[in-house]
Amino acid sequence: MTNDLFMRLATVHKPDCVAIAEGPAPEPVADPATLAVTLGSDALARYAGDCQPIYENLRRVIGQISGLMILARLTGHIEVADLPELAACQARWNDADERTAALAAPQAAQPHREQLVAACLFSGLALKTFSALGQRADNDAAFDRMVGLTKRAYAHLSAASTEKAGLNMVDFTHACCSCRH
């Protein structure tokens, strides 16, 4: 069991690896704050401001999901679903989901909004996967699904990241990726 877990951890793809994603790949998009200055649009400036709490919530949700997933996987305790931290994560995701649904994006910012919507969708699906963890010893499929969904959420949120607008993720450019893509 320990060797199997080590091998699974050693072959994890870094979050931006294209080999882990299903569907169209996340694509970097224009920074809404830069677009607002370039195009002189108040609507884009409002959009950039409205993105900040959504981005921050999703960034934290993805980090919390990852931490809870590691905790559950390494300890073998599936009771993570009962922890107050998971409830707090769900509440933060609910807020991000509501704000994302209400987010009005000018035409120039639609690609950026689509990346936020996708990050919200995939992180929500990853959260729901915690309920699939059962008392049986074989939770590998549920963990694999959670890992894939979390990586996909991270990739979409990274695509919507920009330092200038204060939307920065942790830099994983030097993370190891065994698939060499």
* Domain harbouring 95, CATH code: 1.20.120
- Asked if the structure places residue 110 within a domain, the reply is yes
Domain that holds residue 136: 33-159
- The total number of structural domains that make up the chain: 1
The whole-angstrom separation of Cα 62 and Cα 119 is 9
Q: 104 lies in a domain?
A: yes
The reply to whether 109 falls in a domain is: yes
Q: What is the separation, in whole angstroms, between the first and last Cα of the chain? A: 28
Evaluate whether residue 20 is within a structural domain.
no
- What pLDDT, on a 0 to 100 scale, did the predictor assign at position 178? 47
Q: Is residue 16 part of a domain?
A: no
pTM above 0.85, yes or no: no
Residue 2 lies in a domain: no
Q: What is the pLDDT of residues 34-53, one digit of tens each?
A: 655 655 677 877 888 898 89
CA pair distance 20, 7, nearest whole angstrom? 17
Most confident option among 26-30, 66-70, 99-103, 136-140: 99-103
Six-digit token string for 99: 């704000």
pLDDT in tens, 144-166: 889 999 999 999 998 888 654 44
* Residue 172 within a domain: no
- pLDDT (tens digit, 9 = 90+) per residue, 91-145? 999 999 999 999 999 888 899 899 999 999 999 999 998 877 776 567 888 888 8
* Among 51, 87, 80, 55, CA closest to 146: 80
